[in-house]
A and B are shown apart, each in its own frame.
Chain A
């Protein structure tokens, strides 16, 4: 099996919700840099953080992250 690659739509969902990175970070309880690096695909979040981001944005985790083929 090849390496699993993560698809990310965090930035689109966040901007659609009218939130800044700092505001989302505040809601989740992480730094703005954490949100920034997740959005840019530099940092892959843990399952709890992914679920926390989804909950803060009021969406399902699959709406933010998915496995790319």
Chain B
């Protein structure tokens, strides 16, 4: 038996998302390679060429895959059908499940990059890394707040009373983690100022991840019967 319209559309969305992710990975590799090449007198020429050389085809394959799986007639039919609210909620849940893992990973990676910059040994890659970590730490909380990358119609679908209730609980959790983390950073910073700065992005990511995880957990729990 063939897939239903909804199942087909779900698979298409997953393939499209994968294509976008691969494209983003390729573009990131190219950007990182470009920065390395222009960061002083060819600081890491072989690695930079390799990153650009690999990044370009990866980005191209990802873009083609995303384009091949772009929204078509099925998406339009489904968008006009009932259950569109449920699909919008499910898509948000997927985003909220994935982002905390990357947030914490990036937060840990940023410790080394911040350390290098503080020691005067950092390069554009490290600056880029810290910028990306800070930007990414905002992503989860922005989704929880109903702001991150959503169209007006998606926002309308996702905003209901339960969402606002979960948001309040999730933001409270994030605030506790942020306060605890900043307190720890202040204490550490009094003894080792460099470590205070190095840990700050990690605290930001941890607070963002805690907000996102709590919201995602509440959202999943709300879908369970009984």
Which residues of A are at the interface with B, using a C-beta cutoff of 8 A? 22, 25-26, 29-34, 36-37, 40, 42-43, 45-46, 49
Contacts and interface: CB of A to CB of B under 8 A. Distances in A.
Interface SS of chain B: helix
19 contacts: A22-B83, A25-B85, A30-B161, A31-B86, A31-B89, A31-B163, A32-B85, A33-B162, A33-B219, A36-B222, A36-B223, A37-B222, A40-B226, A42-B222, A43-B161, A43-B162, A43-B222, A45-B161, A49-B161
Contacts of A40: 225-226
Q: Please provide the 7 A-B residue pairs with the shortest distance between their CB atoms, ordered closest to farther.
A: A33-B222, A34-B162, A30-B160, A37-B222, A33-B223, A31-B85, A31-B89
Nearest to A35: B162
A32 B86 contact: yes
Given A40-B226, A42-B222, A34 B86 contact: no
Contacts, number: 47
Given A36-B222, A36-B225, A40-B226, A31 B162 contact: yes
A13 B141 CA distance: 37
B82 interface: yes
Contact of A22 (B86, B161, B165, B226): B86
Contacts of B89: 31, 33
A26 B222 CA distance: 17
A46 B163 CA distance: 13
Contacts of A42: 221-222
